[in-house]
Structure 1
Amino acid sequence: MLSIPAPVSLRRDFTASLVVFLVALPLCVGIAVASGVPAELGLITGIVGGLVVGVLPGSSLQVSGPAAGLTVLVYEAVQAHGLATLGVIVLVAGVTQLVLGFMKFGRWFRAISVAVVQGMLAGIGLVLIFGQCYAMADLKAPSAGIDKIAGLPALAADVAADQQSLTALAIGSGTVAVLVLWKRLPDRISGALPAPLAAVALATAATAAFSLPIAKVEVQGLLESIQPPALDDFTGLGEITLLGTVLAFTLIASAESLFSAAAVDRMHDGPRTDYDKELMAQGAGNAVCGFLGALPMTAVIVRSAANVQAGARTKASRVLHGVWLLLFAALLPAALGVIPVAALAAVLVHAGCKLVPVRELLPLWREHRGEAVVLGVTALAIVTTNLFEGVLVGLLLAVAKTAWAISHVHMNVKQAGTGPIHVSLTGNATFLRLPLILDTLEALPKDRPIELDLSGLRHLDHACQTALTNWADRHNEEGTEPVRMSGRNHGHG
């Protein structure tokens, strides 16, 4: 239950809730538009994130809502399966999160390679940047990530030839400029309004003042946008592609939420996150969002950081931010209809840039080259294929890199005069190191006795043991002197 905070905490929570609301509003709307769904669905997810997840146990200060990191996956799901099926996907993903949290799987999500997560976010950021460049010019983006990149020269030509596209791009570029420069303004100005809200507000004001003929957000109404999935919509769950999409939603939303929780815990001195309870809270929120036919949610680091930095002390701040979103959606829905799409696209371009860890790449390459390769390959795979397949490629590469790293084996060959050749192996002998081991052994002379000492191995897998036995047998058949193996069963696994 939500405890009643002390008066001082309540004042801070109230102030923090307004800050988070102002940060969340343009992001909720922009993410929905970029996902190809009605703008109101983004607000609904933000409301559920505040009013439902906000009161549940788990992490006390992080804020949930629609996330830029899921925009690409939602867009692909809507294009492939339709808007009606989106509710089914989100609902089933939410129930799956609830089950995983109940079974204490929350802590295991922290075992996911950081390089894969960074690569996932970088890939999402690149797809957002390339895709929203088209939206900034009021033009339709190609569906595939690689086509978005290949189409950039044609985009430049189209913008140059069309006055409306050029005007929209000017508004979008101005919005990006405000987002970048806002923090450089005096604190009394930059502290009064969050950068995303100020940028969108200025773009909206400029569009209205000059009556610019560019695309605006289409408004349907809050209640009209709520479309709970029908029973017939659940029949598609028998399809492998749909189940794969559900799995992708579950894994990515859970990982992003729990990594966000770990980051938020480092920002404050309050209670630490219970990862299993937080996973269940996210599952409950997604189940409600799915029932309402809204966007999926995750814990969002941008809103969470704003909440902590604004001085929040309890869960009341995130609950109140949901109240403000609800009041806005109920009382001022027409305000959405004056917002230019190019401005919201610019907000997401800026958000996409922040997802690409440009500053960390060079130090990572210098210190942990393998991790940098995993990050880069994951991002590239997401851009060239899709989010789910790209993450799978990253996970497989991370596992392969780890397996290669821990399968280090050292071979020491001693040849004293005409006596026996002593070969000792230390470390972990796995099939990954077989070429090195066999090349070294097969190069040894066959006319001298060989003593092969395996007692220094910590691990000897079945493939290596079989290969070494076969090599010894062949050597004994072809050579004039035998091979003697010692410690051959040591460390066998």
Structure 2
Amino acid sequence: MGTDTKSNQALTKSALASVLRHDLPASLVVFLLAVPLSLGVAVASGAPPAAGLIAAATGGVVAGLLGGSAVQISGPAAGLSLVVAELIAVYGWRATCLITLLAGGLQLLLGTFRVARAMLVVSPAVVHGMLAGIGLVIALGQLHVVLGGTPQRSAVENLVELPGQVATIHGHAVFVGLLTVGVMIGWNRLPRRLRVVPAPLAALVVSSATALLAGWDVTRLDLSSSLVGWVAPVWPRGDWHGIIEAVLLVALLAGVESLLCAVAVDKRRDGGRGDLDRELAAQGVANIVSGALGGLPVAGVIVRSTANLRAGARSRWSAVMHGLWILVFALCLWQAITLIPVEALAALLIFIGVRMTDLGRLRGLHGHGEVPVYFATMAGVVLLGLPEGVLLGLGLAALSALRRLTRVTVRARPEPDGRWHVLVGGSLTFLGVPRIVAELHTVPPGVTVDLDLNIDFMDNAAFEAVHAWRQEHERGGGSVDIDELHDEWYAMAASGARVFPVKSPPRAPERWWLPWAHRRGPVAVPSERAGPPPAPDHLLAGAREFHRRTAPLVRPFLHAMARRQDPSHLFITCADSRVVPNLITASGPGDLFTVRNIGNLVPRWGSAPRDDSVMAAIEYATGALGVRTITVCGHSGCGAMAALLAGGDRAAGLPSLGRWLRHGDHTLARFDADSGLEGLEGLEGLEGLEEGGGTGPLDRLCRTNVIQQLENLRTIPRVDELVRQGRLELVGLYFDISAARVHVLGQPPSTGSLPDLVDRHP
């Protein structure tokens, strides 16, 4: 079989066109952003300025070509600056390059053995707290540079020395710093066409030009020593334990930051997920090359990656080209770097450091109770040091996780019928036994107890405690009815079967869909309905049952969608209490945007009487929510359709209902034209038609009504336009109540989807 060279050539041309159209402009934007940031990270690390450019070029070309994330940008990261600064102070710069090289080898090994996912076990609260602490340390240190002084060895010393440094302010350095920060703050308020140039580059250009023209006395960057020639890394001198710790620290911090960045970027782009193991291995190769060439450690950086994505990058060629631009700049235009004041870079680092303490992340951490971990890690990094702060955060996160895993909820309360209800939730281990026993012994002897075990694990100590109490209570004349909502941990332990410590997915409470009259327990009501309707107490009891049984199961899903809904269907159906949309469509929270009214009517565009309620829902669903399907669902025995057949007699004394049913006149006219009313000898027998399904006049009118409402939807200009464009589908459903069966109306029989589960009727 021959090769289709034409199609291959067309594919190549298409890919090249995409690179030139999307990736090339994006690479220029990221290049302009990466140059000042890379120089700033090098200055904050105490490394030669050229080391930042070497790391940026290496990260772009090597990690960009080999990485598993298509649009991630790698280079020197501010989050590693404290580690590098400490390594330079202890071992020297050339030895630090070798540590970077060895850390890259370890990352390559970890990526080869596919352990990238395991590295993400670190709590995000620890990572964000670490970055916040690093940002504060950088800001405090560089503040001394802006004020004309020298950073101290620790954040505490920088804070102590700050008042004396403020008292001896050096004017020109402060002017440059204030000018740089002012440009950074005000740049985003300029018109969009001017903001093509990144704010960090604009700030450095403005401050450098102003200092040069005004003749200010500032410190300039010196690249002469770092561009003379390549110097080989040397082996660090010192205790080999410390060297191993340094390699592990650089490899793990850079690896975790890169993987978290890759995950965050993949969430913001369309397309498949990246290969994290490949990304970790690529980061290792990039660090090997960067360390060998005399560059800083390389990691994925979120600011440059986000800028790359926003600039329209589609493939890895944007990262590669941005690295090439940096390489060309370093080789050909390096003299321009010598015009940048060190104080301007320090001010840029202050701005970046403050931004790293992103308090907006506390909102998400607060919902999971991880704010203490964040602040403990941040405080540990600032007051104790980076390794100590990270270990402190990891320890607190582990204790917090252990506390959550062993947290037990035990509630015992009497019910109005004399029974006692006891709810035990959580993971039952020996740590929770004292609380379980104390609460169980509050139950009076001799009563009937409904014990609900909403647990995901039970060890032997917890089983012995519950089982012993049950035996004691039953010997005292009481009874205990145990209901396990998850796997039967208690029943398995009581039978002597082996219990595996594995959490299983929860199953929904049995028979939750039954009407109150057919359920046992506190929400059941008598089946004889001769008296008045159920009291509001039954609704409240139902709400309590929801909190007790269903809420723990659906809470994770509802929490994830609490801030935004994204339904795929607008579901218009009747207000009839027997029609439960989520039940007959097996849908859950967030799936259906539901409109209910009497007769599932959709007023025609411009019809009278005017109804804004249904129209507003349609506008919002198609305009704001972007639903892809509008479904009209009718049902058998519809009282609104019976009223139409009765000529409005059933709406006598209900003026609002009578006006509303005028929107069904087109349905009645269509029914009359299709089948006529000649078969009816009177309208007084319509009561019997509501009970039956099948082919009676009321049943046919109910089906006809669904078809008519689909046509009414097409009279709405926006709906008709979306349907014509193929962006919206209209579907008619009919629910036969007596048969508990759903039919699809208005479509020919199909052999494609669920022929045995959904009846289709033209």
When structure 1 is superposed on structure 2, of 346-355 and 202-211 the one drifting more is 346-355
Q: Go from structure 1 to structure 2 and tell me whether the alpha carbon gap of 1:104 and 1:309 turns closer, same or farther (over 3 Å shift).
A: same
| Paired-residue identity, % | 38
Contact 1:41-1:226 at 8 Å conserved across structures: no
Deviation digits for residues 176-230 of structure 1 (CA, Å, limit 9, x no counterpart)? 1111110111122222x11111100111011111111121112235543643223
One-letter amino acid of the structure 1 residue matched with residue 394 of structure 2 = L
Larger helix percent: 1
Match of 2:84? 74
Measure how far apart 1:314 and its partner are. Answer: 2.2
Deviation digits for residues 8-67 of structure 1 (CA, Å, limit 9, x no counterpart)? 432432222211111011111111111101100111101111221121141111111101
Deviation digits for residues 124-182 of structure 1 (CA, Å, limit 9, x no counterpart)? 111111111112223111211222223322222232xxxxx232122112101111110
Match of 1:257? 258
Match of 1:182? 187
Match of 1:313? 314
Contact 1:462-1:492 at 8 Å conserved across structures: no
Distance 1:426 1:327 in 2: 63
Contact 2:261-2:300 at 8 Å conserved across structures: yes
Q: Go from structure 1 to structure 2 and tell me whether the alpha carbon gap of 1:243 and 1:188 turns closer, same or farther (over 3 Å shift).
A: same
Distance 2:36 2:492 in 1: 65
Q: Go from structure 1 to structure 2 and tell me whether the alpha carbon gap of 1:300 and 1:435 turns closer, same or farther (over 3 Å shift).
A: same
Contact 1:412-1:424 at 8 Å conserved across structures: yes
Distance 1:360 1:57 in 2: 27
Measure how far apart 1:369 and its partner are. Answer: 6.1
Q: Verify: 1:42 aligned to 2:46, yes or no.
A: no
Equivalent of residue 216 in structure 1, options 207, 215, 220: 220
One-letter amino acid of the structure 2 residue matched with residue 318 of structure 1 = A
Match of 2:160? 150
When structure 1 is superposed on structure 2, of 170-179 and 422-431 the one drifting more is 422-431
Q: Go from structure 1 to structure 2 and tell me whether the alpha carbon gap of 1:86 and 1:431 turns closer, same or farther (over 3 Å shift).
A: farther
Contact 1:28-1:42 at 8 Å conserved across structures: yes
Q: Go from structure 1 to structure 2 and tell me whether the alpha carbon gap of 1:84 and 1:158 turns closer, same or farther (over 3 Å shift).
A: same
Q: Verify: 1:112 aligned to 2:122, yes or no.
A: yes
Measure how far apart 1:424 and its partner are. Answer: 9.4
SS at match of 1:428: strand
Match of 1:322? 323
Distance 1:208 1:196 in 2: 18
Equivalent of residue 98 in structure 1, options 108, 122, 129: 108
Q: Go from structure 1 to structure 2 and tell me whether the alpha carbon gap of 1:34 and 1:431 turns closer, same or farther (over 3 Å shift).
A: farther
Distance 1:182 1:64 in 2: 25
Contact 2:231-2:294 at 8 Å conserved across structures: yes
Which structure is higher in RCO with an 8 Å CA cutoff and minimum separation 6? 1
Distance 2:353 2:175 in 1: 19
Match of 1:476? none
Match of 1:294? 295
Distance 1:372 1:75 in 2: 28
> Superposed, which structure 2 residues align to 1:191-210 within 5 Å?
191=196, 193-210=197-214
Q: Go from structure 1 to structure 2 and tell me whether the alpha carbon gap of 1:462 and 1:136 turns closer, same or farther (over 3 Å shift).
A: farther
Distance 1:462 1:157 in 2: 67
When structure 1 is superposed on structure 2, of 221-230 and 125-134 the one drifting more is 221-230
Distance 1:251 1:60 in 2: 22
> Superposed, which structure 2 residues align to 1:324-403 within 5 Å?
324-361=325-362, 363-364=363-364, 367-368=366-367, 370-403=369-402
> Superposed, which structure 2 residues align to 1:22-41 within 5 Å?
22-41=32-51
Match of 2:267? 266
Aligned residues: 471
Contact 1:145-1:385 at 8 Å conserved across structures: no
RMSD: 3.7
Contact 2:221-2:339 at 8 Å conserved across structures: yes
Measure how far apart 1:438 and its partner are. Answer: 7.6
One-letter amino acid of the structure 2 residue matched with residue 38 of structure 1 = P
Distance 1:455 1:351 in 2: 51
Q: Go from structure 1 to structure 2 and tell me whether the alpha carbon gap of 1:488 and 1:383 turns closer, same or farther (over 3 Å shift).
A: farther
Match of 1:407? 406
Q: Structure 1, unaligned stretches of length 5 or more?
A: 160-164, 416-421, 446-452, 473-480
One-letter amino acid of the structure 2 residue matched with residue 168 of structure 1 = A
Contact 2:412-2:440 at 8 Å conserved across structures: no
Q: Structure 2, unaligned stretches of length 5 or more?
A: 1-11, 415-420, 445-450, 470-475, 477-489, 502-762
One-letter amino acid of the structure 2 residue matched with residue 103 of structure 1 = F
Contact 1:364-1:372 at 8 Å conserved across structures: no
One-letter amino acid of the structure 2 residue matched with residue 375 of structure 1 = Y
> Superposed, which structure 2 residues align to 1:407-426 within 5 Å?
407-411=406-410
One-letter amino acid of the structure 1 residue matched with residue 115 of structure 2 = F
What TM-score, normalized by structure 2, do the two folds share?
0.56
One-letter amino acid of the structure 1 residue matched with residue 299 of structure 2 = T
Q: Which structure has the larger Rg over C-alpha atoms?
A: 2
SS at match of 1:79: helix
One-letter amino acid of the structure 2 residue matched with residue 429 of structure 1 = L
What TM-score, normalized by structure 1, do the two folds share?
0.84
> Superposed, which structure 2 residues align to 1:83-94 within 5 Å?
83-94=93-104
